[in-house]
Amino acid sequence: MTIISKYVALKNYIPTGLPKEDDFEIKSKTLELDETNNIHVLNSWISVDPYMRARMTERKNYKPPFLLGEEMEGYAIGSVQESKDSQFKEGDIVFSNFGMRDNFICKGGDLKKIKNSNLPLQTYLGPLGMTGQTAYIGLFNHGNIQRGQSILVSSAGGSVGSTVCQIAKNLGCKVYASTGSDEKVDWLKNELNVDVAFNYKKIDNLVLHLKEICPEGFDLYFDNVGGDFLESAIFRMKNFGRIIICGRISQMNSTSVPAGLKNMAHVLVKRLTIKGFLIFDHENDNEPFETDMRNWISEGKIKFKETIYENIENAPKAFIDLLNGKNLGKMLVKI
Ligand code: NDP
């Protein structure tokens, strides 16, 4: 049987600025099963993630640049269509890094089986996937979060941020959530029950605003955005506060070299800890994350929303819209 795979490829590197749809192309190629690559998978859900932006430049990063004209990678959930590997059979649901395409062939070692689950499959790209694990590992392994503390979260209406907010609320923390639209503010306040949510785009003086909403200062800041927001948060940390550097989306598309932090004196005087982490260093740290997250989801203690675009042709738009904040919760493409 001839297999035709349709995929997203990067046409040119994008050293600065926001990507445009014209920077991508939808291509197709013919695939054939062989002795090594002996499993055919049809994707059903594709994850769209900010880290992909870093792979669209030629700069050195923690993952190599995407190859121009070739399939972009990314996380995906799909079902096995045909298998000559005795470990996999038709109908098996699998997780892979063969996203940004509608179907593919690979070997068994490239796939992770998803066992019977009553959860929607795309949950394995959201709260039970990389973004949920990022929230969990960031808070517990790096943030040393403690019951009752005050925690500030940026990009709180997104996939990582909304999970961070809910884990912290479940621990009895006081949660202050920053996000970029009134719709996201409503969701955070009314459904996720954070203590304070605000639209950072409507705030003139962020340092003053943070002082107003939390005069005693924050124990922990979960930083998804970097830049000016990070600088403002440093001013409002408590002594011995911790800042977890998870992302820097406000600087990902900068057209000039981002300015450095001007208030390092506060880091010294307040004896702050600033710590970066990458979830890719925690690929084997599945427990207790998976058990806790499954329990929380089934008990209704972690809720999630998804923004879904349909068909592989719309994946570039989904990615650009993610960078522009058009997603509420996890950005996904349904194939
Ligand atoms: P999100 O679902 O949070 O989507 C990205 C969001 O970033 C947008 O919705 C937008 O929301 C916000 N944003 C875009 N531009 C700006 C800006 N200039 N200033 C402030 N906010 C902006 O993505 P994820 O949940 O997948 O990821 C969240 C962060 O975590 C990202 O920075 C990502 O790179 C990082 N990350 C880090 C990992 C690690 O291993 N350290 C692993 C996974 C993710 P808004 O409407 O609020 O502006």
Cα(323) to ligand 1 centroid in Å equals 8
* CATH number for 21: 3.90.180.10
> Radius of gyration of the chain from Cα atoms?
21
Query: Which amino acid is it at 89?
Result: K
Asked if 233 and 155 sit in the same domain, the reply is: yes
Asked if 82 and 181 sit in the same domain, the reply is: no
131 Cβ below 6 A of ligand 1:
yes
Asked if 119 and 217 sit in the same domain, the reply is: no
The answer to whether residue 287 is domain-embedded is no
Cα(41) to ligand 1 centroid in Å equals 29
pLDDT(42) > 80: yes
Runs of H (alpha helix) within the chain: 130-137, 159-170, 182-186, 206-213, 227-235, 264-269, 289-298, 315-323
pLDDT(257) > 90: no
The answer to whether residue 201 is domain-embedded is yes
pTM of model > 0.85: yes
The answer to whether residue 297 is domain-embedded is no
Number of domains in the chain: 2
pLDDT bracket for residue 33 (50, 70, 90): very high
Q: What pLDDT, in 10s, does the model give residues 290-317?
A: 999 999 999 999 999 999 999 999 999 9
The answer to whether residue 292 is domain-embedded is no
Asked if 196 and 218 sit in the same domain, the reply is: yes
Angle, helix 206-213 to helix 227-235, in steps of 10 degrees: 50
Asked if 115 and 86 sit in the same domain, the reply is: yes
* CATH number for 191: 3.40.50.720
Res 173: pLDDT:
98
Asked if 90 and 114 sit in the same domain, the reply is: yes
Asked if 108 and 227 sit in the same domain, the reply is: no
Residues paired with 31 in a beta bridge: 3
The answer to whether residue 114 is domain-embedded is yes
Asked if 145 and 223 sit in the same domain, the reply is: yes
By most ligand atoms within 8 Å of CB, the mutation choice from 136, 200, 224, 231 for ligand 1 is: 224
Q: What pLDDT, in 10s, does the model give residues 59-111?
A: 888 899 999 999 999 999 999 999 999 999 999 999 999 999 999 999 999 99
Asked if 108 and 37 sit in the same domain, the reply is: yes
Asked if 13 and 96 sit in the same domain, the reply is: yes
Last residue of a domain, one of 281, 296, 325: 281
Cα(319) to ligand 1 centroid in Å equals 12
CA distance 334 to 319: 13
Mean pLDDT, residues 216-228: 98
Asked if 54 and 180 sit in the same domain, the reply is: no
pLDDT bracket for residue 213 (50, 70, 90): very high
Q: What is the DSSP letter of 123?
A: G
Asked if 144 and 270 sit in the same domain, the reply is: yes
Full residue range of the structural domain in which residue 122 is found: 3-126+305-334
Mean pLDDT, residues 181-202: 98
Q: What angle do CA 208, 135, 193 make, to 5 degrees?
A: 60
278 Cβ below 6 A of ligand 1:
yes
Provide the token pair at 125.
């790209």
The answer to whether residue 141 is domain-embedded is yes
Res 119: pLDDT:
92
By most ligand atoms within 8 Å of CB, the mutation choice from 139, 249, 278 for ligand 1 is: 249
Cα(224) to ligand 1 centroid in Å equals 6
Cα(327) to ligand 1 centroid in Å equals 10
Q: Whose CA is nearest to atom 33 of ligand 1?
A: 247
